[in-house]
Amino acid sequence: MRTRTRTTGAIALAATAALALSACSSGGESGGGESGDDSITIGIKYDQPGLGFMEGDTPSGFDVDVATYVAEKLGYSADQIEWKEAPSAQRETLLSTNQVDMIFATYSITDERRESVSFAGPYFVAGQDLLVAADNTDITGPEDLEGKNLCSVTGSTSAQRIKDDYAAGVNLLEQPGYAECVTALVAGSVDAVTTDDIILAALGAQPANQGKVKVVGNPFSEEKYGVGLPPESDQCETVNEALQAMIDDGSWEASIQKHTEGTGYTPSADNPPTFDPCQ
């Protein structure tokens, strides 16, 4: 969407020659997306296996699959996507300063965020849930955590919400990241891990954890993951059309299943997200 410009004499000369050739031509193809731009810059998480994860120069995960599908519907091939890390605390800045064209990064739509950026979607509706050992039959919801050990990430409100609203006697353990929480769960140091259900499922589907953990499947909140767009963007309707196409052709559900396999997490295309009105 944003082309890169250079001002060297050689490139200026080449551009002049290209224009001359174009004037003699009967037509031609654009160099990229719908507006003829040569690339699109998309923000993702780099540290969420199964959702947005960067290994070397190779991104992977559900968010990456959705972003790639949307970009291709907008006219950009996979090799025209420039990936940029979008940590939670930097997402609004990246969009408002036009450092990225879009963000797919478990980016919950809220009224507060709408004051500074635009959104398309949501492309997924998550809910806070619990991850427990695969053979655990005692924990079926947050009320069952009384006296149990619960892990979440430092600074997250997820675990505190359970302590405040569901199980005052739960013992909270904080770790730097959710991967460390799942490691503690597999080792038996904690009884459960809590955050959004699809994040838990994606972590549980990692090779080291497969078959050892499961998502309880009793969500008790709602988080609508939207496509972050720059303020005043006119891309909302176009992005929503691409998202609908992904849902309709089965790619959306196939990607979720691929990245959460073996965790008991089975959201269905029979109940896809409903898009918010574009603003």
Identify whether 106 is part of a domain. Answer: yes
For 49, 167, 182, 263, 266, the CA distances from 206, given in Å and listed in that order, are: 7, 29, 10, 10, 16
The predicted pLDDT at position 24 comes to 35
Based on the fold, state whether residues 256 and 185 are members of the same structural domain: no
Q: Which domain holds residue 228?
A: 33-126+223-260
Q: Would you give per-residue pLDDT tens digits along the chain (279 residues)?
A: 653 333 333 333 333 333 333 333 333 333 456 556 799 999 999 989 999 999 999 999 999 999 999 999 999 999 999 999 999 889 999 999 999 999 999 999 999 999 999 999 999 999 999 999 999 999 999 999 999 999 988 877 888 999 999 999 999 999 988 889 999 999 999 999 999 999 999 999 999 999 999 999 999 999 999 999 999 899 999 999 999 999 999 999 999 999 998 888 877 666 789 999 998
Examine residue 234 and state whether it is found in any structural domain, yes or no.
yes
The answer to whether residue 273 sits within a structural domain is: no
Are 120 and 74 found together in one domain?
yes
What pLDDT is attached to residue 9? Answer: 38
The helix (H) or strand (E) run that includes residue 55 is strand 52-55
pLDDT the model gives residue 177? 86
Query: Is residue 209, in this structure, part of any structural domain at all?
Result: yes
Element (H, E) at 151: strand 149-153
If asked whether residues 176 and 247 sit together in one domain, one would say no
Query: Do 202 and 236 share a domain, yes or no?
Result: no
Can you give the pLDDT at residue 113? 94
Q: Does residue 106 share a domain with residue 57?
A: yes
For residue 231, say if its preceding peptide bond is cis, omega within 30 degrees of 0: no
- Whether residue 26 lies inside any domain: the answer is no
- pLDDT at position 7: 36
So what's the pLDDT on residue 132?
A: 97
Supply the DSSP symbol for 80: G
Residue keyed to tokens 């890169």: 4
Residue 115 amino acid letter: E
The confidence score (pLDDT) of residue 106 equals 93
Distance of alpha carbon 53 from the chain centroid: 10
- Do residue 48 and residue 186 come from a single domain? no
CATH number at residue 74: 3.40.190.10
Domain presence at residue 1 = no
Structural domain count, the chain: 2
Same domain, 251 and 172: no
Read off the DSSP letter of residue 269. T
Whether 122 and 234 map to the same domain: the answer is yes
For residue 2, count other CB atoms closer than 10 A to its CB: 15
Q: Quick one: 171 and 86 in the same domain? A: no
**In-domain check, residue 6:** no
CA angle centred on 12, ends 7 and 13, rounded to 5°: 150
Question: What pLDDT is stored for residue 270 in this prediction?
Answer: 62
Same-domain pairing of 143 and 118:
no
Specify whether the CB–CB gap between 40 and 80 falls below 8 A.
yes
CA-based torsion, 147, 152, 153, 156: positive or negative: negative
Q: Does any domain span residue 269?
A: no
Same domain for 211 and 100, yes or no, is no
- Asked if residue 198 and residue 251 are part of one domain, the reply reads no
